A and B are shown apart, each in its own frame.
Chain A
Amino acid sequence: MSKILTAKEVRTEIYLYNTLQVDAVRFNDNGNILIADGEEAASCCLNCANPRCMFINEEASQCTKFHDIAGSVDLHMCPSRAISVGERSIEIDKSKCMGCGLCARACPVAAISVVNGKAEVHKYSNEKCIRKLPVTEKAIEEQERFLLECGHIKKQGMILQESDAVMKNIHKYVHFLHQDKQNIFVRNLFILLGNHVTIARKGNVYMRLDGFYQNESGYGVLEVETGSDTLDVARAILDDIAVLNSRHGISMKDNDPLAVCLYLPNKRTDYWQVVKDIKEVTGIKIRTLTIGALLLMLWNHVELQDFGSFYIDVENTSIRKELERIIGRKIQISIGTDGILESQK
């Protein structure tokens, strides 16, 4: 058949910096800065034809070490789908935004900030260093070349200053996300930290694992728990490893499992002892991370591709020290807050 109609172009214009060489971007409280050839300019939304803040790179949602998984096809970056394309810039629906900063980290030119718990887009306002382009194939190609270059630039400053209140607010949102969206959120966090992650599509009762990650240091199964049933996470990981070993040829000894929780399990739960038992008997080291810890690394521009140091058990139920080492400073979250960095009770 013929006569396919073209989709209406919502964008009326896209933008490009006059320079092709950006040295760094800096996150500031009062507007982010782009640094090129020693000069500073305000960051602003380029209204990208291929907006990194809206969609993850599809390639990063696939793991070459484990093809045999029906992965989620949801490529949205924002777990609450608060971002949409506008005529002159992307738009953020603040009623949906949970202020997690995923979009801010994903934007190559730091055109998004998180202010008072909500993402805010810096829109073009006749900056001298930026030119407007019509939405043509040629302009889109030019913009894409520029953005690819930007992928490697240095990022300075913090996307968001952590505090007990900030973390509690985001936790509240994450808690109420549908489980599929929580898993997608975790996937996107890991991808932005430099990993490849596939999240299993819902409804596949035989593929019980939540996901699979892969990076330069290794690969393994991923289980996400946002409730209090953390003991089930350890059991699920043992199940995942057995199934992958026997049915899919992924050897137990190469499989470095990761448990991602919203709250670290309480000290009095048996999770920590069971994790130790599993290590003693099978040699499997279950690494335990929290969504809050991943967010802290995200806001501080960390690239994390080795989870080995996040093995904790009954001997030590805190990841604070390790996280402070990675970020390079003290973390401004009170001891025990929401079980983000250490177990409560």
Chain B
Amino acid sequence: MIRFRNPGSDLDTMIAVLKQLYHELHEKDFFDNTDIAKVLSKANLMASSGFTGDKAVALGANTNKSRDKTYNNAKMYAEIFRILGFLSIVNDAASNYRFTFIGEHMAAAGVDAKLLIEQCVLGMNNPNRIMDVSYKESVRFFSCVLLTMLELDDILYRDEMILGPMSVNDNSEEDFTNMIDFIKSLRKTKSERKLSTELEKLAKSQTDNKKEGMTVNSVQNCTRFPISVLKYCGWVENIRCNIYGKSMVFMKLTPYGKETANKLKTYKDIRLEDYEKLSKSHREALIRLGTYSMLGRAGFETNVVQAEMDKDAKEIESITEGKEVLFSPYQTLDFITVNDALNLQLTPYTASQKNQQSAVLKTYAKRIIKKNVVELDYNTAINQNLMTEDTDNFIRNVMQLIQREKSTEQIVKILVEEHRGDNKGEFYPLVETLFRIIGVDCRKSRDGVNGERWDAMIRDAHKSIPIEIKSPGEEENVSIKAIRQALENKIVLLSRKTYITDCQTSSFVVGYKAPNDRAEVAELIQNIKETYGYKIAVFDIASLFLMAVNIIVNKKGINIEKLYGLEGIVNVKDIDC
């Protein structure tokens, strides 16, 4: 199955990136990923951690290239530009690039470069001499998608695209027909389950990074780039269809997509295997004709090369059968072969230039995540005044686990696992219970009370704390959204004075797991403190379990006074563990 990386940018941005790279780097004999990263950051075309320019380079930099964000972003752009035929590798070095003749035209194209993009999209074909890929399909992918849609009532579902055009050898008429018949047979079942089963089967049969089998999600992620390209080119639009027993979003050919597909049927599609069978002069004629035909279709004036095109067309008439050629040399062959045929001269490479040109990215200090360790070293006991039926049940549960000779650590693990599937209905009362055992008067908000924006409140005569809760059913890891809500809770409480509090007292977030992007969440909490002066503290449920179990088992906990002023992502440390 063909794998497309998800470049994370739209095609407009990619075109702007290419233009900027050309503006800055076209006079160089070659450039590398580091040069690309520098140019993009300087032109605000690439961001790292919300910064652009030098700050982005600084924050993204890492002495380990595989972890260097800006470098990897540049590498991703270079890969896409190579696939689209705008850049080529020179000097046999994996990351020494030059602009191709097509890339130069792309950079010179006006604001609207869509037609040339279309040609380069149609030019993508496999196998080729430019990319070393793990998949084996012989296919001109985008042409194959459009022609497939023509055969399938002009519509195609994402998963059908994976099972069809992404997994077919379209240079074999038999394979293409079999693929169409296969999708038609799937549609006849009217069963989404059947479609999913086939997709699971395909995913399992794939190898990714030398690992056997892929997940269905990873396979579906490979469709993001092609779907965005198909839409960008105006070939498809979304439509809801009920083909597999329920309404699903399909792609539908637009009139322009249909026109393009019908035109493709009239072209002579020439692939690498066909090229390799030709004589040297025929090969050169094909390279010239293929390149200039692409440019002509993309709206460039070919008058100046018309005589050459006519001569070449005549020379390879037996191969093209007099049809218009669909062959993109820079997306099929190596740079030097194409340039030689086009009679384009390059400045020779000298070793000394390498040192002059490679920019060096420095590694700068990373964002520091302040550790907020809470040590359970305070002698305390359960406050009987705060006990409820729920707290009694929880304590009983913990005591039973102790009797089964479980350690504090094991008990916490068991409890975390027990609540993995909780929704609001179970999770919010659990949080209330745990805080009450910890020693504060926590009460969850009643459903449907609009004015109480928080999910629970630690009530105190002077320092009440609003709590934003996210059950695992809502989100497994605490997100930025929860932090925003905690800030809003604090502001609303200070304004409406529903319970008494002050600016120095924290606002809490409790989730099932700590945030995925700890650095970003921690930094936002810090930003909020610097800007508004309010503290936000984030707990995962394991931390609350640890605090509660410790009080029950060891009569050790946190000094409640400290609790009111916590901030950041709280890391609870059991000193006995």
B-binding residues in A (CB < 8 A): 1-10, 55, 67-75, 180, 201-208, 231-232, 234-236, 238-239, 241-243, 245-247, 252, 268, 270, 273-274, 276-278, 280-282
Contact = CB atoms under 8 A, between A and B. Distances in A.
Contacts of A278: 491, 495
A252 B531 CA distance: 7
Interface string B473-488: 0000000110111011
19 contacts: A1-B99, A1-B101, A1-B104, A2-B344, A68-B53, A70-B47, A73-B15, A201-B9, A201-B47, A208-B480, A231-B488, A234-B488, A235-B488, A242-B527, A243-B527, A246-B530, A277-B495, A277-B496, A281-B491
A268 B450 CA distance: 9
Given A204-B50, A277-B496, A74 B12 contact: yes
Given A1-B346, A67-B52, A238-B491, 17 more contacts: A3-B342, A7-B110, A7-B299, A7-B300, A8-B299, A68-B51, A70-B45, A235-B484, A242-B487, A242-B524, A242-B532, A245-B527, A247-B50, A247-B523, A276-B495, A277-B491, A280-B495
Contacts of A282: 491, 532
A73 B43 CA distance: 11
Contacts of B53: 67-68
A20 to B, nearest CB: 27
Interface residues of B, number: 63
B164 to A, nearest CB: 26
Contacts of A5: 105, 292, 295, 300-302, 304-305
Contact of B451 (A7, A204, A243, A270): A270
Contacts of B55: 68
A74 B49 CA distance: 22
B8 A71 contact: no
Most buried by B among A6, A70, A270, A274: A70
Contacts of A74: 10, 12
A274 B488 contact: yes
B526 interface: yes
Contacts of B305: 3, 5
B45 A246 contact: no
Contacts of B344: 1-3
Contacts of B377: none
B449 to A, nearest CB: 11
A247 B299 contact: no
A243 B50 contact: yes
Contacts of B105: 4-5
Contacts of B13: 72-73, 201
B492 A203 contact: no
Contacts of A231: 488
B492 A274 contact: yes
A276 B492 CA distance: 9
Given A1-B104, A238-B488, A207 B531 contact: no
A282 to B, nearest CB: 6
A206 B47 contact: yes
B111 interface: yes
A245 B530 contact: yes
Contacts of A73: 12-13, 15-16, 45
Contacts of B494: 277, 281
A1 B344 CA distance: 6
B301 A7 contact: yes
Nearest to B48: A206
Interface of B is mostly: helix
Interface of B: 8-10, 12-13, 15-16, 44-53, 55, 99, 101, 104-105, 108-111, 292, 295, 299-302, 304-305, 339, 342, 344-346, 450-451, 453, 480-481, 483-485, 487-488, 491-492, 494-496, 520, 523-524, 526-528, 530-532
A247 B51 contact: yes
A70 B15 CA distance: 15
A270 B523 CA distance: 28
Nearest to A252: B531
Contact of A235 (B9, B109, B450, B487): B487
Nearest to B46: A70
Contacts of B451: 270, 273
Contact of A243 (B111, B301, B495, B524): B524
A270 to B, nearest CB: 6
A33 to B, nearest CB: 31
B488 A203 contact: no
A8 B52 contact: no
B329 to A, nearest CB: 14
Contacts of A242: 487, 524, 527-528, 530-532
A268 B451 CA distance: 11
Q: Which 7 A-B pairs have the closest CB atoms?
A: A206-B50, A277-B495, A73-B16, A246-B527, A235-B484, A242-B527, A5-B300
A96 to B, nearest CB: 10
Contacts of A70: 44-47, 52
B531 A241 contact: yes
Nearest to A280: B495
Given A68-B51, A236-B484, A246-B527, A4 B104 contact: yes
B531 A8 contact: no
A247 B527 contact: yes
A3 B9 CA distance: 31
A308 B509 CA distance: 34
Nearest to B17: A73
A223 to B, nearest CB: 12
Contacts of B99: 1
Contacts of B528: 238, 242
A238 B487 contact: yes
Nearest to B110: A7
Given A2-B344, A239-B524, A68 B530 contact: no
A206 B48 CA distance: 8
Contacts of A10: 299
A281 B459 CA distance: 21
Contacts of A206: 47-51, 520
Q: Tell which of B99, B299, B523, B531 has the most Cβ of chain A within 10 Å.
A: B531
A203 B8 contact: yes
Nearest to B254: A95
Contacts of A203: 8-9
Given A203-B9, A270-B453, A8 B44 contact: no
Contact of B339 (A1, A55, A274): A1
Contacts of B12: 72-74
A268 B110 CA distance: 50
Contact of B10 (A6, A69, A202, A238): A202
Contacts of B531: 241-242, 245-246, 252
A2 B99 CA distance: 12
A68 B44 CA distance: 7
B81 to A, nearest CB: 16
B425 to A, nearest CB: 22
B520 to A, nearest CB: 6
Contacts of B44: 67-71
A234 B295 CA distance: 49
Contacts of B523: 247
Contacts of A68: 44, 51-53, 55
Given A68-B53, A204-B47, A7 B487 contact: no
A276 B491 CA distance: 10
A239 B484 contact: yes
Given A6-B300, A8-B300, A206-B47, A69 B495 contact: no
A23 to B, nearest CB: 31
